[in-house]
């Protein structure tokens, strides 16, 4: 690999050091590879945590990606990069009540998020209470679209600390818990929250896609109670709003920002 030493030197002289540069040609290649693997109407989401510099997020978004965020801070970064709320998804294990409240407020306004992924029954109970109080699903207000995080109980091809799809992992719900939660939301949310499907995260730095393939196949059982079916896969994730068929959101485990 050759480096543009003159350009690097000029950047350091102009901006000072340390200076971090992104190779837009590498970004083009990585983005194109994902688009080729997951063409429209698949939805491709860029995890803002990979690089939360607004200029980088804007470059990725311009190449056909929405933004996946885990907090209001990352949400603000995506908006600063001119990504519309309709192309932003909220996921992650660290969502606060304030994050959920902001998602509900957006749903009650003119620009709802694409979806919110729920990690647990406790989180579902909190957001359901908020959504009902906000009047979502009544009159002209839409319901809050949510995905339910399923632990697929597979053997991810990675180290144990990153194998979040292993059955022993604390992340995600069992199939029984996930289907039970869908039924609970359907019975108790009064239309304020709408289950759209399953969110899967098998693991990070995977050496193979076999466990992901198995997880997708197994998740179909959990999706049977879901009236508007969709699937979201971390490292290869997401669903299509244009039909109820299962789809995959493509956010490669190699971040499409010119860095791995």
Domain harbouring 44, CATH code:
3.20.20.10
User: Is residue 184 one of the residues assigned to a domain?
Assistant: yes
Hey, is 222 helix, strand or coil?
Answer: helix
Q: What is the DSSP letter of 26?
A: H
Whether 118 and 149 have beta carbons less than 8 Å apart is answered as yes
Overall pTM surpassing 0.85 (yes/no): no
Q: Tokens 């579902």 map to which residue? A: 124
User: Is residue 56 one of the residues assigned to a domain?
Assistant: yes
Q: What range defines the domain where residue 111 resides?
A: 5-234
Question: Mean pLDDT, consecutive 10-residue segments, the chain of 260 residues?
Answer: 78 91 92 93 93 96 97 98 98 95 97 96 97 97 95 88 88 90 94 92 88 82 59 43 29 34
User: Is residue 115 one of the residues assigned to a domain?
Assistant: yes
Q: What is the DSSP letter of 2?
A: -
Contacts of 154 (CB under 8 A, 6+ apart): 165, 166, 167, 202, 211, 214, 215, 218
User: Is residue 250 one of the residues assigned to a domain?
Assistant: no
Number of domains within the chain: 1
For position 242, what pLDDT does the model report? 32
For position 248, what pLDDT does the model report? 30
User: Is residue 131 one of the residues assigned to a domain?
Assistant: yes
88-90/193-201 β-pairing = unpaired
DSSP for 50-71 reads G---HHHHHHHHTTT-EEEESS
User: Is residue 15 one of the residues assigned to a domain?
Assistant: yes
What is the separation, in whole angstroms, between the first and last Cα of the chain?
A: 15
């Amino acid at each position: 690999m050759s480096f543009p030493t003159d350009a690097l030197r000029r950047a350091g002289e102009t901006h000072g050091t340390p200076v971090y540069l992104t190779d837009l040609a590498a970004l083009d290649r990585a983005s194109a590879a994902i688009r080729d693997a997951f063409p429209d109407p698949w939805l491709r989401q860029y995890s803002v945590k990979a690089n939360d510099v607004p200029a980088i997020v804007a470059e990725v978004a311009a190449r056909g990606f929405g933004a996946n965020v885990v907090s209001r801070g990352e949400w603000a970064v995506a908006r600063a990069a001119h990504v519309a709320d309709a192309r932003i998804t909220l996921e992650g294990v660290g969502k606060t009540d304030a994050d959920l409240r902001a998602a509900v407020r957006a749903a009650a306004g003119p620009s709802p998020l694409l979806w919110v992924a729920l990690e647990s029954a406790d989180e579902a109970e909190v957001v359901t209470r908020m959504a009902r109080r906000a009047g979502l699903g009544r009159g002209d207000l839409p319901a809050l679209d949510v995905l339910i995080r399923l632990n697929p109980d597979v053997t991810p091809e990675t180290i144990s600390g990153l194998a979040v799809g292993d059955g022993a992992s604390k992340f995600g719900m069992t199939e029984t818990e996930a289907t039970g939660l869908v039924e609970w939301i359907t019975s108790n949310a009064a239309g304020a929250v709408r289950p759209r499907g399953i969110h899967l995260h098998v693991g990070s730095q995977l050496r193979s896609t076999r466990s992901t393939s198995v997880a997708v196949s197994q998740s179909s059982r959990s999706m049977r109670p879901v009236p508007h079916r969709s699937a979201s896969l971390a490292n290869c994730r997401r669903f299509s709003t244009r039909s109820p068929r299962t789809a995959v959101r493509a956010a490669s485990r190699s971040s499409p920002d010119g860095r791995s």
